[in-house]
A and B are shown apart, each in its own frame.
Chain A
């Protein structure tokens, strides 16, 4: 059986992010048609745009304690400015290593559980 993407509406099997672009030029993640945060256009004015999944690390932190006991600690959260503009906050591949701000980062899919795949960012290369 093939591995399943945990959140197929957010990323592709190749690790690209499923974002969007408004006719005003604003690029956002994830894709949505509720309305543009910059100009308020909505519906068909917002079109899907695939984002490279590459960017620069703004900050990272190791989480030592978490309320959800099912989520094993430590794990690392990073804030990444994507090459196309949006800033995302999500899990990094390294669970307990501090990565310096400014480090080039890339998204990749990693196995989660028996058959799942989820997105993690790690230093590029």
Chain B
């Protein structure tokens, strides 16, 4: 019988760090990456040579970008792998690091995400298509926005309120790409991209880095890491898309499927969740995902949003970091940055954006493919 992460050795997040997500610049990716790793090492209070393996998440840097970066920390000879899984690259690297520690192969492992905004290249499959070259990511989510608005009799203005909340959160996050509060009028203004989607309702893909160090209890003891600040990973689940009935959105169904398994593994219910970081590359996604994670029934997300239940200080703070819309989505780092935000919140170290009494957090990421990753973290 296959086992889950929770059946293996306990794994803890012990160090987190970032290089701010930002608009494309001349900063080399090496600078972005080592900045985040050094901050995570400092946060854990450990030295680089104690890290036994590294997973480098990147989607847009090309082949073997990790070693030219990591060598500047001291070439310790540690095993190194690169992880590419579209938007979920960082989540995947984090899961691999957790699995390695949980299995007992290492006591301390690193997941680091780093990316620059380079063109996406995808090889053809040998199967032609009608007009995929005309369909950008935002077009897919504009179609979903229209479907959602039509099915649930919800206005585009109400869907856009997701962006108002997430810009407000991002304004309190020094690592966010967008750090400015925005009114509903501002969010709805500007040029329409597709359908009702405006630029402030879409993620600004930029560059940056995020790093997370995970450790076993043996590692924490041996290296004298502060156990009171360690956050346990109590669930880790990954799934990919199956064939769903026509009309069922794969993003939503895949999220439901993956989250259900993760909640079961962690033995928590949606009501127990204090913090959720989810893939809000476009406003409508946040509503789809909170409904499929189980915070409320389908079509009721807007009610929670409007009554402030998703705000910091509300029932469950959703995207307290600012989410992909405000914190940003540099691809490789994004899923790792989510874990960092949840760890900050569960430790009570989130400063101006601290959600009171946060004990349990869930990180959700989808990636083109489609793949879905869900992690659940808990303060001991």
Contacts and interface: CB of A to CB of B under 8 A. Distances in A.
B27 interface: no
B130 A119 contact: yes
Nearest to B192: A64
B126 interface: yes
Interface string A80-97: 010001111111000000
Contacts of A101: 146-147, 150-151
B128 A30 contact: yes
Interface residues of B, number: 30
Interface in A58-106: 58-68, 71, 75, 77, 79, 81, 85-91, 98, 100-101
Contacts of B1: none
A47 interface: no
B143 interface: yes
Given A64-B194, A88-B130, A81 B246 contact: yes
B19 to A, nearest CB: 27
Contacts of B125: 34
Interface residues of A, number: 36
B150 A62 contact: no
A71 B134 contact: yes
B136 A66 contact: yes
A90 B191 CA distance: 23
A90 B140 CA distance: 11
Contact of B127 (A30, A58, A59, A98): A30
Contact of A10 (B130, B146, B194, B243): B130
B224 interface: no
Contact of B147 (A37, A59, A98): A59
A85 B195 contact: no
Contacts of B133: 68, 71
B144 interface: yes
Contacts of B129: 10, 30
4 closest A-B pairs (Cβ-Cβ)?
A: A90-B130, A61-B195, A61-B142, A81-B246
Interface of B: 125-136, 139-140, 142-147, 150-151, 191-195, 243, 246-247
